[in-house]
Amino acid sequence: MEKPSSGQILPLVLDLANLPTIKGAVEELKTKVTKIEAVFFNAGVMTPPRGSKTVQNYELQWGTNVVGHFLLQKLLLPLLLSSAKSSEVRILWTSSDGHNMSPSPDGIFWDDINGDKTNLGSWSLYAQSKAGNVILAAETARRYGGENIISASLNPGHLKTDLQRHSDSIFMGLIEKALLYDARYGALTTLSAGLSNKLSKETNGCYFIPWGRVGMIAPHVLKGLENGSGTRLWEMLEKEVAQTCSVVEDILAYSALPAAQKAYADMNRTASINIQHIGTSLSSSSVRLSSETSPRLEDPGSSALLRHAHGYGYSNSDSLNSMGILTKVVTEIARTDIPTSHPTITSHVQSRIRAEYFGFVRRLPSREVCEVMYQLFFITANQIFVALDETIFREQLARWWDIAYDVLLKQGPETLPQELQCFPALIFQVIAVTLQFLPQLYDPRLDELKFGSQQSFTELSREYTDCGMELSKLLGRARTTFVGVQHSYMRSCWLVYTGDLMQAWNHSGETVRDAMAIGLHLEPEVPASSQPEALLDALWMNELRKRTWLNILVWDSSMALALGRPMFVNLKECTVTAPLDCEIPIDRLRRVPVARSEADRPTAITERLLRYKLSKRFYEIRELENEGPIPKDSEKVKELHQYALDFRKSLPCIFATTKPDTKWDADCTFIPIHRELLSYLVDAFLMALHRPYIFTREKSQLQVYQSSLGILDSQEKLFQTIRVSDKSFYMAVTFPTFDAAVILAVVLVSSPERYHESFSRPYQSLKNALDRLTFIGSIMTLAKVGADILQATLSRVVAAHERVGLSGDSHLFHTSTPPQIEDPRRGQSSASASLSPELEPWHFEATQSAMDWTMQNAGFPDFDFSNLEVPVPLKELLMDEEMAALSGVDPYDTSLWMSMQDQQGFQDISARQQPMMDTGENSLWNYLTGYPTTTENQFAQ
């Protein structure tokens, strides 16, 4: 804009999941504006937890996405009709291409809209609500088109947002790097529909698709509109909201809105309305479900003064805030010096949780069965996660059982030591994770835990982890202790193994916040004590705190890199040093912490310490990704590349990728698994580092090719190790396998000529990856989804190379010699050998280079790879919005791209508009996606 806007943004708060609040918000709106030119109904929820309901007892998606918006439009209609007398008014309903999955015959479960009778899944109910948006947009156009009101529905695109955070499916979390666009693209289609001339009286009721094109409504939904589904839905909703419009009820509900807002704050289900007076528009923002928590009491080691002032929210780990400085300067203030007129956290716990707390504790298994679980946990899961120390855990366990009975029955949980208040929640998480790692031959006493013989251990595991979470929530701020952080980290581990990566990532944010609240990210102080045992105990506890922070940081950085998510940890605020590589002994009160020597027996923490060194550099790769396909400082890429190669060379011999020292493998059964995990880590680092440059630097594409092959080789070896060892840690070979296979497929599809002569090598790796995911898919949904995607992708990879084999076109690149790949896991990998940063210059080309197809072949004009922000082939192959509307057909059948007949009753709902980014004449784009070029077939103009 040449001039700054003089408009205003005025917020109105309403809750679409509580209908009476909508009337009050509209009445307030009428006092602020007299004209509205555009309304964007874009609030929504997607696949919330099963059983979620609105205040009026609608299924949450239907009630929010459809009923709430219908009532909002109904109440706004008088103002909209008045505005339409002087200028055109537009109403835009945000739908989704998910409406294609709505039920036959017309998109609505008329006999079971809430899904209560037929036990419908969240995805089916979401698809129904999005079909409802399409139907209401078309029906609004039919009813009010003659009144100068134009309405349309739209699919904003597949975007990287938090909308999927409660999804039953993990599909979005898995393939986000390849398939989803940045959230900012979501505004393109919305603004195009709201502001461009593509929406007019002639196209009234149409459906927009990314990025601003008029697309096709799902055939069965369109057929339903022709048969009157719009009228049926409209009249049904009119009856259902009639009672809500009662004046008395509305006034009472709206007068109580502040209290209601406070009650709903924990769920964050509010929608805000922004009003702009220039080109006045109305927008209800996206509705989100979350579990944001309030500030918490932070650490039992804080002074009495800080604990008494907890309500002010001061951090106990920051000695430079006002209270922190006060406690340093004024040390004589005692608890007795402060009046006790205000309730403390102890009385809060006492009043709220005593009965419920005791009820959860009673749900723990017997001590005998728990002992079976503990033993199994520390020889299986804990060797992978390194989450707890057995010695200290058992000491806490003994303390808990010694005092729990008398305290809980006679005094209440508030009198427990603060570190032990959350301990039963930690026990629940230990049991839950252990049940995920049960071997085929397990102790039959564990069957007694089941509610019935048909209950699976998977269901039982979820029951226990949920108990831990609910008990933790009862404690509120009092749970923010070291044990509480351990509990939270264990919950993340549990979520990872279930394959719910999105929830695991979301939950890890809470874990990081709690850990930083108690100062785990800071170097712990060595306490001054004249008692040797107290001093040694403090030193060992500091080591344990450091290990916990190490695990949290490694997890946070790894998930951020893999999923393309931001890190929760700010490394600039971290001062803590790495822990020592040693076991915590049983007699730790007589021993000083000393790191083991190279000749000593490895520990489970050994691999974590090595992983920690590389993980601390992950954030630098994320920063480079934000710069796009041309880095501002190529030397930074070069330095990180060399760092990874040096790290590989420096690995201890027991973790070497070729001819490792296996003398400890029998005694330390975790070593073979850790060896492959470290091999994966190095290749994943290199793959992520070079992935943004696969279309702007030839050597970077080759590095991604080699690293992905190295990962798949390592994953195959790890898979066989896990199967032989009867350890069911298959998550370790699910996401890494899928992620590497996806990017390898991108390289093979986009550059088939380069890799054609050595195609059998990557093809076999992809086949092995598919076999692994198929095998694991029988016990893990995440793997099954990945196998289905990889199966579809593999056929496209083969097709690309078959075309190359038939045409023999190898002149597109300056060399026709395929890369000579040795096993990337043998000695110094071929990746490191072929890409020596000391010998070869690092140059990134945006125009004239071997990666620029335009310079190599005149048949590919005006295509700049540097404009690609995500790998195109898989995105267009798997998630094309327009072709998704066609069911039961092959989207790559060119016979489909013929002139389409006007659709009776909705003649203007068709794909007549040119896309906002015209790729019609771009033969390379069409080659990658398999679409016909404009010289072959087109839509009818």
pLDDT tens track for 188-219: 888 888 888 889 998 999 999 998 889 999 99
Quick count: other Cβ atoms within 10 Å of Cβ 856?
15
CA distance 716 to 771: 10
Q: What is the SS3 assignment for 281?
A: strand
CA distance 285 to 480: 33
Report in angstroms the alpha-carbon separations of 708 from 684, 715, 748, 785, 799: 8, 10, 11, 20, 21
CA distance 268 to 64: 13
Predicted local confidence at residue 804, as pLDDT: 76
Check: CB of residue 496 under 8 Å from CB of residue 782.
no
Report in angstroms the alpha-carbon separations of 529 from 526, 594, 613: 9, 20, 33
Predicted local confidence at residue 353, as pLDDT: 67
Amino acid residing at 515:
A
Upper half-sphere CA count for residue 543 (Cβ side, 13 Å)? 21
Check: CB of residue 36 under 8 Å from CB of residue 83.
yes
Report in angstroms the alpha-carbon separations of 597 from 52, 318, 581, 601: 55, 36, 9, 8
Check: CB of residue 221 under 8 Å from CB of residue 135.
yes
DSSP structure class, residue 891 = T
Q: Torsions phi, psi of 269, nearest 5? A: -105, 25
Element containing residue 588 per DSSP (H, E) = none
Upper half-sphere CA count for residue 504 (Cβ side, 13 Å)? 24
Tokens found for residue 313: 């929210």
Quick count: other Cβ atoms within 10 Å of Cβ 183?
14
Upper half-sphere CA count for residue 702 (Cβ side, 13 Å)? 21
Check: CB of residue 123 under 8 Å from CB of residue 65.
no
Predicted local confidence at residue 321, as pLDDT: 54
- Sites in the chain below the pLDDT cut of 70: 1-7, 162, 164-179, 243-353, 409-410, 477-479, 528-530, 724-729, 805-941
Predicted local confidence at residue 846, as pLDDT: 52
CA distance 664 to 655: 11
Check: CB of residue 14 under 8 Å from CB of residue 66.
no
Residues 6+ apart with CB under 8 A from 334: 304
User: Catalytic residue positions?
Assistant: 96, 126, 130
CA distance 85 to 91: 15
Measuring CA to CA, which residue among 426, 421, 424, 429 is closest to residue 477?
421
Q: Which residues pair with 59 in a beta bridge?
A: 53
Report in angstroms the alpha-carbon separations of 338 from 87, 301, 306, 347: 67, 19, 12, 16
Residue 424 burial (10 A CB sphere; 0-12, 13-18, 19+): buried
Write a three-state SS string for 89-116.
EEEEEECCHHHHHCCCCCCCCCCCCCCC
Rg (CA), the chain: 30
Q: Torsions phi, psi of 337, nearest 5? A: -80, -10
Q: Which residues pair with 917 in a beta bridge?
A: none
Measuring CA to CA, which residue among 228, 26, 40, 221 is closest to residue 131?
221
CA distance 134 to 885: 13
Quick count: other Cβ atoms within 10 Å of Cβ 768?
17
Residues 6+ apart with CB under 8 A from 141: 149, 150, 151, 152, 204, 205
Measuring CA to CA, which residue among 738, 154, 301, 757 is closest to residue 499?
738
Tokens found for residue 762: 């990557």
Q: Torsions phi, psi of 283, nearest 5? A: -140, 125
CA distance 722 to 924: 43
The CA-based angle 26-31-35, given to 5 degrees, is: 80
Sheet with 149-154, edge to edge strand ranges: 10-14, 271-275, 281-284, 38-41, 89-94, 149-154, 207-209, 213-215
Element containing residue 685 per DSSP (H, E) = helix 671-690
Q: Is the dihedral of CA 485, 486, 487, 492 positive or negative?
A: positive
CA distance 611 to 26: 55
Measuring CA to CA, which residue among 770, 761, 760, 764 is closest to residue 791?
770
Predicted local confidence at residue 316, as pLDDT: 55
Measuring CA to CA, which residue among 570, 502, 561 is closest to residue 682?
561
Amino acid residing at 217:
I
Predicted local confidence at residue 245, as pLDDT: 56
CA distance 719 to 732: 8
Q: What is the reported pTM? A: 0.57
Measuring CA to CA, which residue among 815, 927, 932, 938 is closest to residue 860?
927
Check: CB of residue 667 under 8 Å from CB of residue 660.
no
Predicted local confidence at residue 25, as pLDDT: 85
148: left (phi over 0), alpha (psi -120 to 50) or beta: left
Angle subtended by helix axes 671-690 and 735-750, to nearest 10: 40
CA distance 560 to 644: 18
CA distance 152 to 140: 9
Residues 6+ apart with CB under 8 A from 644: 614, 682, 685, 686, 689
CA distance 810 to 816: 6
